[in-house]
Structure 1
Amino acid sequence: MSDTLYDRDLQLWIDQTIRQLKNREFESLVIRIPEDSEYPLLCPFSIEQILDEDFYGI
């Protein structure tokens, strides 16, 4: 496959993906964005917990 064809196909895919995302109604995804006031002012986890690869904070 030539690089020109690949580049053109890739650009078409990118353009179509962007167009679809712009037309999507995000309300239908049922994703709630929390208000800033819902986040704690201080992080509830220690630095050791944050750096631990096995810690999930659940």
Structure 2
Amino acid sequence: MDKAQIKIYGLLENYLEYCKTNGFTDFEIWCEDNIDSANEKGLVQDIYREVNHIADKLFD
């Protein structure tokens, strides 16, 4: 995994824990303040719909 993937994986772990405690929220918006590069933004763009779908099914 490269640096962007490692960072987004960490955000994903934190996001799922957050949703477990607080309920569903949008992954892309939740990540906004933590994205520092175009690679990170692109990776979030690639996965956010699937992440939201999973979180919606688990936590909504």
TM-score (norm 2): 0.35
Query: Quick check: which one's helix share is greater?
Result: 2
Between structure 1 and structure 2, the one with the greater Rg is: 1
TM-score (norm 1): 0.36
